[in-house]
Amino acid sequence: MMKDRLSDLVKSLTLVLFITLSFASFAQEIPTDAAAISAGEALFNGNCKSCHRVKQKLVGPALAGVEGRVPSVAWILDWVKNPAKKIATGDEYANKIYNEYNKSQMTAFTAYKDAQILSILAYVKAEAAKPDVAAVPTGSGDVAGGGNAGIPSSYLNAIVGGMILILVLMVVILGLIVSALKKFLNQKELSEDDNQIVNSPYTFSTVTKSSGFIFVVIFIIAAVGFKTTIDGLYSIGVQQDYQPKQPIAFSHKLHAGAYEINCKYCHTGVLKGKQANIPSPNICMNCHTQIKQESPEIQKIYAAIGYDVKTASYSGKQKPIEWVRIHNLPDLAYFNHAQHVNVGAIECQTCHGPIQEMEVVKQYSLLTMGWCIDCHRKTEVNTKDNAYYDKLNELHASAKKSKMKVEDIGGLECAKCHY
């Protein structure tokens, strides 16, 4: 009896153990389904791509075939969650690559679930299996910036020129007709009154002295003057295309374009608050402790933070890098990045233009009140997956047929943008 029970217990325990083990090994297998691969792609692009490529060495090793070189898939899971800890435990492989990569510290992804890391590996594996395609550089042609839609101004000039020509011709023809008529009438017997009218001294000087002519001329001059003044006033403080020289020849075309480093990796504030922030040298140093140490431009970063490349030590003497601010609203206006980028899901490029193609950043949009208002009139509110808008959406749908625009949630109220 007792023995039966015992063997039953052993059997069921074995089963449980077996199931657990198979689950554990299942969980550490790299998935191959399309869903995992695409989830992995998003994670890789968002978090790993700044330092890793699949087939190319960057700040860290190329990740293709990584599951074959490291001790085990489980090792990768531990490593990604906390590389520093893995190194500290004295793990042989971890210390080997750490030294190989000049002790640059990989970011820890402590919040990652195993499944997320496995999906990244799935993506890497799928990418690695693809045949090599020659890298095509992203198009560098300048996207037409804020060009005027409608008739090009050269056409307008031609049309105005043509009209003036026609007017001149008409004056000449009318003059010819008048003189022909005069000749004809002078051959006839006319009364004193008629004669005076026909032969009245209708010369150029009588025209220019007439009050009607003087009025028209003064009106035209006043109108042109008024328009120029207004245009001038509107452009005060507007500095589209402003492109100052920066203290370090930092290129967005290289970093954000060719190396596809995510904007948010450097401009860390965009999702959280008002300011996008200019990255601190700290962020540059994630890569430039290793990359291009010899470049005079990179040495300017070292000089600013008092870093000695030879000894990899800091002197403690620091001075700020004086980046020249390009975009600048007057103090009376309030603009918040998180509101637009995070909640509104607007791409940086919508407002800043093709930054990833700019060697030197320039101000792309006007940044006038009209520019803000115009977009608020045209743009639909992004209500997707945002419970905050559920009720509002319902109310809006019951009152209006058109989609909910920013103006419908108060985007045109003075106090929303003015302190």
Residues 57-96 that bind ligand HEC (CB under 6 A): 59-61, 66, 69-70, 76, 79-80, 83
Q: Does 47 bind ligand HEC (CB under 6 A)?
A: yes
Reported for 12-17, long-range contacts at CB under 8 A and 24+ positions apart, including other chains, are none
Cα 129 vs. chain centroid, distance in angstroms? 32
Nearer to ligand HEC, 250 or 307 (CB): 250
Q: Which stretch binds ligand HEC (CB under 6 A): 190-198, 216-224, 344-352, 390-398?
A: 344-352
Q: Does 239 bind ligand HEC (CB under 6 A)?
A: no
Provide the token pair at 30.
């790299």
Give, in order, the Cα–Cα distances in Å from 266 to each of 43, 276, 299: 17, 9, 19
* Under 8 Å between Cβ of 364 and 240: yes
- HSE, CB side, 13 Å, CA atoms: give it for residue 196: 2
Q: Does 333 bind ligand HEC (CB under 6 A)?
A: yes
Q: Does 106 bind ligand HEC (CB under 6 A)?
A: yes
Q: Does 368 bind ligand HEC (CB under 6 A)?
A: yes
* Under 8 Å between Cβ of 101 and 291: no
Q: In the window 131-190, what residues touch ligand HEC (CB under 6 A)?
A: none
Q: List the beta bridge partners of residue 293.
A: none
Nearer to ligand HEC, 190 or 285 (CB): 285
Nearer to ligand HEC, 182 or 400 (CB): 400
Question: Pattern 262-301, binding to ligand HEC, x per CB under 6 A?
Answer: -xxxxx--x----xxxxx---xx-xxx--xx--x-xx--x
Q: Does 199 bind ligand HEC (CB under 6 A)?
A: no
Q: Does 242 bind ligand HEC (CB under 6 A)?
A: no
d(CA 75, CA 302) in angstroms, rounded, equals 35
Backbone angles phi, psi at 308, to 5 degrees: -105, 115
Q: Does 412 bind ligand HEC (CB under 6 A)?
A: yes
Q: Which stretch binds ligand HEC (CB under 6 A): 7-15, 166-174, 211-219, 354-362?
A: 354-362
Nearer to ligand HEC, 61 or 127 (CB): 61
Q: Does 340 bind ligand HEC (CB under 6 A)?
A: yes
Q: In the window 302-331, what residues touch ligand HEC (CB under 6 A)?
A: 323, 325-330
90: DSSP letter: T
**Of 30, 77, 351, 404, which one interacts with ligand HEC (CB under 6 A)?**
351
3-state secondary structure of 307: strand
Q: Does 54 bind ligand HEC (CB under 6 A)?
A: no
Nearest distance from C-beta of residue 131 to ligand HEC, angstroms: 22
Q: List the beta bridge partners of residue 405.
A: 380
Q: Does 414 bind ligand HEC (CB under 6 A)?
A: yes
d(CA 389, CA 396) in angstroms, rounded, equals 10
Residue-wise DSSP of 183-199: HHHHTS---HHHHHHHT
Binding-site size for ligand HEC (CB under 6 A) equals 103
Nearest distance from C-beta of residue 38 to ligand HEC, angstroms: 16
Q: Does 108 bind ligand HEC (CB under 6 A)?
A: no
CB under 8 Å to 320, separation ≥6 — which residues?
Answer: 304
Three-state secondary structure string covering 308-338: ECCCCEECCCCCCCCCCCCCCCCCCECCCHH
Nearest distance from C-beta of residue 66 to ligand HEC, angstroms: 5
Nearer to ligand HEC, 37 or 341 (CB): 341
Reported for 390-394, long-range contacts at CB under 8 A and 24+ positions apart, including other chains, are none
